[in-house]
A = this chain, B = another copy of it.
Amino acid sequence: MQSHFAYAQLFDFTVAVFLAIGCPETDARLAAQVLLSADLRGIDSHGIARLSGYVRLYEAGRINPRPAFEILHETPSTATLDADAALGLVSAPFAMELAIKKAKACGSGWVTVQNSNHFGIAGYHAMLAQQQDMIGIAMTNASALVAPTFANERLLGTNPIAVAVPAGNEAPFVADLATTTAANGKLEILQRKGTDAPAGWIQDKEGNPTNNAHALKSGGALLPLGSDVEHGSHKGYALGSIVDILSGVLSGANYGPWVPPFPAYVPMPAQQPGKGIGHFFGAMRIDAFQPAAQFKSQMDQWLMRFRNATPVAGKEKVLVPGDPERSMEAERMQNGIPLLTVVLEDLSTLGEKFGIKL
């Protein structure tokens, strides 16, 4: 069951909620924009469905609505930022803007962030650089749900990597991928439907492969991209680890099994080695490598070649990373964003608490 809502309506509601927990106007609007970019792009698990979760983190004292960002360490091309327990929805664009500023000055900028919280979809932040003729990179660690290859423990989050590349006349390349075989959001859909999960998505609490979509909630784990060692799960595990090291260890945030959980009711891991969760951002100016117009013309050729590739039987066309999300955004801007009844009820309860109508 779902109803459709205009983007503007959800935006106003979300801004009002962030204002209600004490965010300044500019931050509330920015946070709403970042959060809802997930709904627009069809990554419903990371959008407004999480709004009440962010509020609960605020209520638990884990989100600071009026953070004072501090640069702990920097060089001409790098910086480490203490986000002061901000919404990641606010600290991440700030950090990416800092990376962009450094790239303008010396070709590239690289910013690692500690003491932050969830930042919505990685792709949003990578695209900030892409819109300024730079290659944008964004990643974040997250609480541990994923078992490394051969491990019967959850040690990594779904740890996404996003890379956005500008083009000329063609729509840009925007990759945004969790380093797991399947996103947790996809598993939750199967749980609601009561259907099995495909082989290779999860293992049970004994570490055995399973099709039971509920196994993750009963002590199992998501599997790294590749599923099993015969299909390269050690590569997905390595990629998730790289994200964890650049976002968590390099910044002074928590890492591995110590990353704070998103649900406020889940207890914090004991003996945490760092502060909050961590992100990592990069921006490389195209014209730090070659004239931008020349690059864009080659990138157009790359994009056209892949978009016009011969499809396998039964498929209409070959897509470039970012194409499905771009179509979805156009469609939802026009026809509205669908919300499941369960999400709508959650938002209504949230609205009532603050006297805000959806």
Chain A contacts to B: CB under 8 angstroms: 72-80, 106-108, 110, 112, 135, 148-153, 155, 161, 163, 165, 173, 175, 177-182, 198, 200-201, 203, 206-208, 225-227, 230-232, 234-239, 241-242, 244-246, 249-252, 255-257, 273-274, 284-286, 288-290, 294-295, 298-299, 301-302, 305-306, 309-313, 315, 317-321
Chain B contacts of A231 at CB under 8 A? 181-182, 198, 200-201, 226-227, 231
A270 to B16, CA, bound (A): 58
How far, in Å, is A40 (CB) from chain B's closest CB?
20
How far, in Å, is A259 (CB) from chain B's closest CB?
12
The 7 closest A-B pairs by CB, nearest first: A75-B107, A207-B312, A78-B107, A175-B238, A76-B106, A78-B288, A177-B235
A181 to B181, CA, bound (A): 12
Residue among A226, A249, A256 facing the most chain B CB atoms (10 A cut-off): A249
Q: Across the interface, do A241 and B175 meet the contact criterion of CB distance under 8 Å?
A: yes
A180 to B231, CA, bound (A): 9
Q: Across the interface, do A318 and B151 meet the contact criterion of CB distance under 8 Å?
A: yes
A178 to B232, CA, bound (A): 9
Interface of A is mostly: mixed
Residue among A161, A181, A245, A301 facing the most chain B CB atoms (10 A cut-off): A245
How far, in Å, is A100 (CB) from chain B's closest CB?
13
Q: Across the interface, do B309 and A165 meet the contact criterion of CB distance under 8 Å?
A: no
How far, in Å, is A92 (CB) from chain B's closest CB?
17
Chain B contacts of A108 at CB under 8 A? 75, 77-78, 108, 110
Contact pick for A150, options B244, B315, B321, CB 8 Å: B315
How far, in Å, is A76 (CB) from chain B's closest CB?
4
Tell me whether A288 and B75 are in contact in the complex, defined as CB-CB below 8 angstroms, given that A226-B225, A230-B198 are known contacts.
yes
Chain B contacts of A178 at CB under 8 A? 235
A306 to B150, CA, bound (A): 11
A73 to B295, CA, bound (A): 13
Chain B contacts of A239 at CB under 8 A? 161, 175, 177, 239
Q: Across the interface, do A76 and B73 meet the contact criterion of CB distance under 8 Å?
A: no
Chain B contacts of A246 at CB under 8 A? 135
Q: Across the interface, do A250 and B290 meet the contact criterion of CB distance under 8 Å?
A: yes
Tell me whether A181 and B298 are in contact in the complex, defined as CB-CB below 8 angstroms, given that A110-B107, A153-B310 are known contacts.
no
Q: Across the interface, do A112 and B73 meet the contact criterion of CB distance under 8 Å?
A: no
Q: Across the interface, do B318 and A75 meet the contact criterion of CB distance under 8 Å?
A: no
